[in-house]
Amino acid sequence: MSVIQSALLGLVQGLSEFLPISSSGHLNLMQALLQIDLTHQLLFNILLHVGSLVAVLLVFWRDWLQMILHPIRNKTFLLLVVASLPALVAKLLLGDALEALGTNNALLGVSFLFTGLLLILTQAISVLNQRRHLTGETVGVFHALMMGLMQAVGMLPGVSRSGATIFGGVSTRLTRESAAKFSFMMSMPAILASFLSEGYSAYREGTLAQTGDLTAILVGMIAAGVSGYLAIRFMLKIIAKVSLNWFALYVVLLGIAVLAMQAAGVIPGAPLHLTPVVTAVPLP
């Protein structure tokens, strides 16, 4: 993998992590189209996600500081713990299956379509809540739990984590702005947990050195951090002004395109290094 390819993947990851279009789905798609073969693809993807965490720290530094200075009075830490529990349970129960799905593109097209459906529902529910004056801005335990459940669903590549969690918040009558902010903050414990889990597995299996060139990885992480910062700022400004149906249209068209490419054999289901190679057997 070249530095340019890593930078491109980092740029795509940072933008798509905080736009409701699925960063994991876009990474898998780009890696398949560019024929980038990584033995430890999932760890590389997580490292790019770690780069985007810098953006979360920079944008919400006041919130993190208040959380550290006032851990009891500030309820955000507790809410983040509650929101992280469903994904943790899913990881413990379905660890190997989730890891396999994390780099398998078999459900990629369908997952993009599912994300489109979630965004359409989010837009419709948000409008209905506003008309009935049922929206609130304060995140509570119930909101955090529902958003956490949707974050577990968003672990599938092609299902947008931010899109799914914002749906969870809006469906429990949070404003889109409040749901988006908490969704972005939820990404930190989720990504850190994935990094520690996958990093430990790679270290234990001795495949850490096979992740890729260190320079390329660092460039990708920097690109993810910069593009992620811009994406968060962008989403916080437009989340209440722009219809989510536009994002839904994009992922639906992308999902249809992915299904077409899968049917044509352009996108393999498994990663390249796991795709079986069929060789011709000479006739006697």
Q: Tens of pLDDT along 42-58?
A: 677 888 888 888 999 99
**Predicted pLDDT at 195:** 79
- Of the candidates 21, 18, 34, the residue with the CA atom closest to the CA atom of residue 9: 34
**Predicted pLDDT at 250:** 97
Residue 175 CB neighbours (<10 A): 19
Whether the per-residue pLDDT at 281 is higher than 50: the answer is: no
> Angle CA(202)–CA(204)–CA(210) in degrees, nearest 5?
35
Confidence of residue 274 (pLDDT cuts 50, 70, 90): very low
Q: What H or E segment, with its residue span, contains residue 145?
A: helix 141-153
Residues sharing a CB contact under 8 Å with residue 229, sequence separation 6 or more, in sequence order:
14, 54, 55, 58, 59
Q: What is the Cα–Cα distance from 167 to 61, expressed in whole angstroms? A: 25
**Predicted pLDDT at 251:** 97
What average pLDDT does the chain have? 86
What would the pLDDT profile of 80-112 be if each residue is shown by its tens digit? 999 999 999 998 888 777 777 776 788 899 999
pTM (two decimals): 0.86
Here the tokens at position 133 are 């004056």
What would the pLDDT profile of 167-206 be if each residue is shown by its tens digit? 999 999 999 999 999 999 999 898 888 778 777 776 676 6
**Predicted pLDDT at 207:** 58
Q: What is the Cα–Cα distance from 187 to 48, expressed in whole angstroms? A: 13
Percentage of the residues of the chain whose pLDDT score is greater than 70: 88
Higher pLDDT, 44 or 21: 21
**Predicted pLDDT at 206:** 61
Percentage of the residues of the chain whose pLDDT score is greater than 90: 53
